[in-house]
């Protein structure tokens, strides 16, 4: 929603301001200049990036209409799941959940936490390390190093698309200049035309530069920043799991482990201590 609102504000302010100072809106309609700028950018993007990034770009642009990847209720579900797993491990041993760790996608236990169950990558991340703890890993520093490496790899993977979009944004002004040069070449070919016709051609050429700069700084660049922020929020979901498991390996009770996990969340989506307490003590969670 923010992306749509921002785009509307940009169009209204830029085009409206131009019209308000007496500009001719028809001059801005230069479709072939846009073909040069936008088409050149798309072609360069395809050349510069592998297929995985191209596919992920489509997913990332689709996520613009979904807002934040995780809400407070999503984290409450995660913290409740972590609490129940660690409490079971403390009371009965993790062997009680071995089948769930081996096949989390088919686990009836994890299906009680639907937002966690749908996040297959994060669920697999948690189960892999819970299985290591079940198998006897007790050195928190070794496990912390391994989790940090995996989260760093995940962060690099998720940041490829916003980096690629930022590179495309940086190239757009130059492609706008290319479009302007092509327009000026066309104008020079009609140098004997009337001043009105020649002025229209020169104005159309300058629209190419305008288009490249506008798309770079008012559309593609902001979109890259927005997607980068979304991806950072996705990584923080894994950091939340990591914090709880490391606290458990240091010998803390499940309630304290969950508090460690809660503290790594940003203030806008961090549930309060009492909200977490209610979530972990609800009848459904107790039955789990």
Q: What is the pLDDT of residues 212-245, one digit of tens each?
A: 999 999 999 999 999 999 999 999 999 999 999 9
What pLDDT score was predicted for residue 47?
Answer: 95
Alpha carbons 117 and 173: distance in angstroms, whole number: 44
Interatomic CA distance for residues 162 and 231, integer angstroms: 9
Query: How far is the C-alpha of 237 from the C-alpha of 155, rounded, in Å?
Result: 11
Reported in sequence order, the residue ranges of 10-68 that DSSP labels E, i.e. its strands, are none
pTM: 0.85
Backbone angles phi, psi at 50, to 5 degrees: -70, 170
Q: What is the pLDDT of residue 25?
A: 83
Cα–Cα distance, 86 to 129 (Å, whole number):
12
Question: In a 10 Å sphere around its CB, with 0-12 CB exposed, 13-18 middle and 19+ buried, how is residue 33 labelled?
Answer: buried
* pLDDT, tens digit (0-9, with 9 covering 90-100), for 25-69: 888 888 888 999 999 999 999 999 999 999 999 989 888 777 788
Highest mean predicted confidence (pLDDT) among 1-10, 55-64, 182-191, 248-257: 248-257
Domain segments of the chain as ranges:
30-287
Q: What is the 3-state secondary structure (H, E, C) of 69-116?
A: CCCHHHHHHHHHHHHHHHHHHHHCCHHHHHHHHHCHHHCHHHHCCHHH
What residues contact residue 70 under an 8 Å CB cut-off, 6+ apart? 233, 234, 237, 269
Neighbours of 110 (CB within 10 A): 23
Return the closest-CA partner of residue 129 out of 233, 247, 232, 236: 247
């Amino acid at each position: 929603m923010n992306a749509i609102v921002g785009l509307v504000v940009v169009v209204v302010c830029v085009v409206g301001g131009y019209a308000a100072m007496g500009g001719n809106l028809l001059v801005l309609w230069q479709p072939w200049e846009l073909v040069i700028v936008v088409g050149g950018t798309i072609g360069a993007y395809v050349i510069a990036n592998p297929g995985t990034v191209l596919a992920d770009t489509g997913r990332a642009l689709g996520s613009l209409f979904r807002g934040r990847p995780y809400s407070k209720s999503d984290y409450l579900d995660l913290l409740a799941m972590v609490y129940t797993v660690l409490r079971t491990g403390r009371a009965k041993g993790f062997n009680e959940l071995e089948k769930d760790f081996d096949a989390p996608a088919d686990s009836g236990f994890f299906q009680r936490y639907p937002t966690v169950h749908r996040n297959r990558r994060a669920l697999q991340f948690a189960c892999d390390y819970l299985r290591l703890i079940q198998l006897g890993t007790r050195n928190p520093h070794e496990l912390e190093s391994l989790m940090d490496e995996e989260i760093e790899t995940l962060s690099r993977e998720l940041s490829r698309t916003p980096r690629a979009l930022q590179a495309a944004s940086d190239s757009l002004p130059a492609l706008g200049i290319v479009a302007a040069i092509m327009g000026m070449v066309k104008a020079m070919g009609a140098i004997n035309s009337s001043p009105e016709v020649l002025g229209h051609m020169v104005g159309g050429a300058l629209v190419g530069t305008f288009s490249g700069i506008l798309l770079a700084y008012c559309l593609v660049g902001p979109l890259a920043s927005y997607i980068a922020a979304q991806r950072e929020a996705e990584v923080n979901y894994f950091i939340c799991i990591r914090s709880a498991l490391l606290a458990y390996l240091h010998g803390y009770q499940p309630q304290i482990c969950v508090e460690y996990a809660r503290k790594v969340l940003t203030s806008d989506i961090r549930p309060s201590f009492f909200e977490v307490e209610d979530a972990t003590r609800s009848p459904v969670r107790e039955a789990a």
